[in-house]
Structure 1
Amino acid sequence: MDPNGDPGPAAWQAAVRLVPVESGTLLAGRYRLDRLIDSGAMGAVWRARDEQLDRDVAVKILLPGLDGAGERFEREAKTLASLKGPGYVQVYEYGEELDGDRTVHFLAMELVDGVSLARLLAREERLDPERTMRIVAEAADALGEAHRRGVVHRDVKPANLLIDADGRVRVVDFGISLLVDRSRLTDSKEVLGTVPYVSPERLRNQDVTGKSDLYSLGAVAYECLTGTPPFPARDPMAVIHSHLYEEPPALPDTVPPQIAAVVSRSLRKAPEERWESGAAFAAACRSAATGEITVPPSVEPGVPVEETERRPRRRLALVAVAVVLAAAVFGVVAWSPWTGDGPQGGADESTVEAAANTTGAVETSASPDPEASESATESPAAQETESGGGTDGGGSEGGSGETGGEETQEEEADEPKSGTTELPDVTGRTTFDARDYLEGLGFSNVVADVGYYAITPEPAHCTVVQQFPSAGSTVDYADQVTLSYHSRNAEGTTCEW
């Protein structure tokens, strides 16, 4: 599409990716689409009315033209349907609808009244330790149950944790989950996930178990306590290197030591040194919140806990020089050929694929007013405020949440700007350069959304092709500014944050 075409949500303006539905469309003779809640690289979630049962639902629709996505989408539906309990979003129906010569794949889900943890952190910056432990414990319980059923989530992040109206945590967006011991739908060298939360073994393309999810959840806990992920650098390669070889900065002194110990253990590089299960992680969180010191389950007999805690660091220190030298050589030949969400890690030729699956239904809106968010009927992964989060679980309406990627809340010394101004033109820049430029001017809600534009010559990877609102528009500094970027599949590095 010509970048000078009519503006609109990036997911709907992307060439050959237009969703063949609109408001008022009736799917399966019963789901009347009302309004778009959220969209991402693989799908879009609508608020809809189930006319047969007279209830509101969230309907996720797969974008057309995605190779192999239909099978993955159906697997996601089956995965969600197999998970029962308060920690998940209920699935009502998976179906297909013919639209001319195209097939529309859809998934009807529970419409959840809630807010994503990503949006909550964007509003509050950080959470107190006790609240953090409660949220992480509930998420660990839900992940532990999924692991017992042979399902590894593989994209645990704040945008995929929804907090419903009753304060319960729902885990959503199982779009890239791995069913252990079953055939994979992706190449064995493909690593999926979101860079700030991805585990070291994922980056090294090693076997992935539930402990990978626990590492990611530990990174989420760290962000809740500090306001940023463990490794908040904007350069994805720097973040990946840190996940592989560096220890996260110590948690602030305001975090009780027993809570810091629980989070620290979840972020161990070696999976066997983390909590042995989601249930164990959850129990440790609850104990730490009451002030109890949780003794790591793998402490060697007769060896003080402190000594055991120091040993991994000494081992890392011994190999530090070799690692740096190897990384320097490896970086020349292997950091560039990305095909996923991040670069290749370790000595393995693994990749990280940007997985902007939309699976936790979230309702977006131009009004970031936190109070308005709280009062409306909210959807799980994206409230009726702005931006998009993972849309994999039920639609959430009223708060606001994220879809594919999550917003990294940066610490700011100055108060955010208020009032209106003219939005400058940032097309032609990379998403990161455009975001830094806009944030430097005072815009506080800049998000990115993939577009895959059919333009000759093809734009560079991560180039902003369209922006919404358009350049020259009068906007509030707090309004959402969406950067619609071109992604080259051959590159694969994430263009979002």
Structure 2
Amino acid sequence: MDSGTLLSGRYRLDRPIDSGAMGAVWRARDERLDRDVAVKVLLPGLDGAGERFEREAKTLASLKGPNYVEVYDFGEELDGDRTVHYLVMELVEGVSLARLLAREERLDADRAMRIVAEAADALGAAHRRGIVHRDVKPANLLIDADDRVRVVDFGISLLVDRSRLTDSKEVLGTVPYVSPERLRNQDVTGSSDLYSLGAVAYECLTGAPPFPAQDPMAVIHSHLYEEPPPLPETVPPPVASVVSRSLRKDPAERWESGEVLAEACRLAATGEIAVPPPAPAAPAAVPDGERPRSRKRLALLTIATVLAAAVLGVVVWSPWTGDGPLGPGAGEESSLADADEAAGEPTATGTGSPSASAFETESPAAEESESAAEGGSEGGGSEGDAEETHGGEEEQEQPDEPKSGTTELPRVTGMTTFEARDYLEGEGFSNVVPDVGYYMISPEPAHCAVVQQFPSAGSTVDYADQVTLSYHSRNAEGTTCEW
């Protein structure tokens, strides 16, 4: 399309205002009603995008309120041998938040909270209609001439409980602002938009998104597994707490709705809100920084209780059967797995969890108790039996000490998750974790094939560092790729 082009004999294109992955927005003149409008023209050659573009028109037309852009018309125009789709909207005189931040770098806390509150109100109203935006970012928040926020570009929105316009495996959105559940291809709700809006709020206050690395894979890894760096001390604590809760990994721990977030932003700007409790989720009473240590203490306490009961059972009742006190049939492994799940820790052995280290530490003591019990029952507790039992203990093999220090992480992409785990654990890495992949790759990888690894191959890591294996799963196979 060129300047001066007339669409449907009515809308004359003037000059481009903005452009994106799907099309360009033009300033235009509605010659029938003699008014300036904005015309979004879809780029040609995008498979299936015409239907998605039409949905954007209908979605925007269904949203009414001061924080949206009004839709006037939708149509198509023949341009030679191709069909061009276009959307006619209200022309908003103003600037996008992205350009505002590029000019001012960061905003003061009061202004940032006001902008986020207005955006949250608009998103909350859309969520009540079953519409999830899925691409909330500074470029899609306009600040008009009246300093009012307008949420735009619902082109990849999802209407909950209705047919999707994109493959369920396709990750849409902008990486610095995308929510963890989007990356994991889990169910997307309005909470995903609130996470993205939290990332926008973080950028307003600091001048950069929470995870600003240039490598997209590093940003994705951070969204999934890392906490954002703390906000500057100049940010008031109530404001910092609002942003922190928006960026929780678990959607259930974020704000209950856009309206609740908006109210929290307004109260935080006046200093009237304290650090808000998370939405009901376990364990809510433990501060974020203490949660991992509390989980470990809970798991270790549970393990100690289980092992103590096991030793008492040997003395009072009878020896274990099987390969040893922690072998199959003992019941302790399943009990510990249940305890780990309750504590929120991985249950897979060999991952460097507290359960694994506790087993390695406590097993020799349990074996000593078992040997003593057997000596007492079979030999009547004679001195000779005691000496023989003691000698047998000295000959038992002690477990290998876990490796410590740093080393270069080998490449395991292309292996199955189980092959990669066995190889890495054989090299001394004690914290190998599987995670389902989220990539569209052609040709499709084999079932359970490791597509990406974090950290990347060749990185210098500690043997105890977590190594995440992101794998591809073919649902038709029906077998798990995790342990």
Question: TM class, shorter-chain normalised?
Answer: 0.5 to 0.7
Give the C-alpha shift of residue 351 in structure 1.
3.2
Matched, 1:264 2:352: no
Matched, 1:215 2:161: no
1:347 aligns with one of 435, 455, 460: 435
Alignment partners' CA distance in 2, 1:194 and 1:206: 17
RMSD over equivalenced CA pairs, Å:
3.0
Alignment CA distance shift 1:55-1:349 (3 Å) = same
Alignment CA distance shift 1:299-1:23 (3 Å) = closer
Is the contact made by 1:262 and 1:294 (CA closer than 8 Å) also made in structure 2?
no
Alignment partners' CA distance in 2, 1:329 and 1:276: 43
- TM-score normalised by L of structure 1: 0.60
Give the C-alpha shift of residue 40 in structure 1.
2.6
Is the contact made by 2:254 and 2:279 (CA closer than 8 Å) also made in structure 1?
no
Q: How does 1:342-381 map to 2 (within 5 A)?
A: 347-351=435-439
Alignment partners' CA distance in 2, 1:56 and 1:217: 31
Is the contact made by 1:284 and 1:294 (CA closer than 8 Å) also made in structure 2?
no
Give the C-alpha shift of residue 98 in structure 1.
1.9
Comparing 22-31 with 71-80, which one deviates more in the overlay? 22-31
Identity, % of aligned positions: 76
Q: Which has the greater radius of gyration?
A: 2
Is the contact made by 1:201 and 1:207 (CA closer than 8 Å) also made in structure 2?
yes
Offset from partner CA, 1:351-390 (integer Å, 9 cap, x none): 389xxxxxxxxxxxxxxxxxxxxxxxxxxxxxxxxxxxxx
SS across alignment from 1:190? coil
Give the C-alpha shift of residue 320 in structure 1.
8.8
Question: Which residue number corresponds to residue 83 of structure 1?
Answer: 63
**Aligned pairs, how many?**
321
Matched, 1:227 2:207: yes
The letter for the 2-side match of 1:79 is T
Is the contact made by 1:196 and 1:230 (CA closer than 8 Å) also made in structure 2?
yes
Matched, 1:332 2:413: yes
Offset from partner CA, 1:35-85 (integer Å, 9 cap, x none): 122223311111110011100001111111111011011011111111110
Q: How does 1:395-434 map to 2 (within 5 A)?
A: none
Q: How does 1:238-249 map to 2 (within 5 A)?
A: 238-249=218-229
Is the contact made by 1:204 and 1:346 (CA closer than 8 Å) also made in structure 2?
no
Gaps of 5+ in 2: 297-343, 354-408, 416-432, 442-483
Is the contact made by 1:202 and 1:208 (CA closer than 8 Å) also made in structure 2?
yes
Offset from partner CA, 1:234-282 (integer Å, 9 cap, x none): 1111111110000101111101111111100000000000001000100
Is the contact made by 1:25 and 1:32 (CA closer than 8 Å) also made in structure 2?
yes
Question: Which residue number corresponds to residue 289 of structure 1?
Answer: 269
Alignment CA distance shift 1:329-1:292 (3 Å) = farther
Alignment CA distance shift 1:274-1:234 (3 Å) = same
Is the contact made by 2:10 and 2:30 (CA closer than 8 Å) also made in structure 1?
yes
Question: Which residue number corresponds to residue 384 of structure 1?
Answer: none
Give the C-alpha shift of residue 293 in structure 1.
2.2
Is the contact made by 2:178 and 2:196 (CA closer than 8 Å) also made in structure 1?
yes
Offset from partner CA, 1:309-330 (integer Å, 9 cap, x none): 456555898759989999x899
Is the contact made by 2:116 and 2:262 (CA closer than 8 Å) also made in structure 1?
yes
Alignment partners' CA distance in 1, 2:345 and 2:283: 23
Gaps of 5+ in 1: 1-20, 335-344, 354-497
Alignment CA distance shift 1:122-1:265 (3 Å) = same
Is the contact made by 2:117 and 2:265 (CA closer than 8 Å) also made in structure 1?
yes
Alignment partners' CA distance in 2, 1:26 and 1:48: 9
Alignment partners' CA distance in 1, 2:268 and 2:119: 16
Alignment partners' CA distance in 1, 2:439 and 2:176: 15
Alignment partners' CA distance in 1, 2:239 and 2:208: 17
Greater fraction helix: 2
Question: Which residue number corresponds to residue 181 of structure 2?
Answer: 201
2:128 aligns with one of 140, 148, 160: 148
Question: Which residue number corresponds to residue 360 of structure 2?
Answer: none
Q: Which has the higher contact order (CA 8 A, sep 6+)?
A: 1
1:46 aligns with one of 17, 20, 26: 26
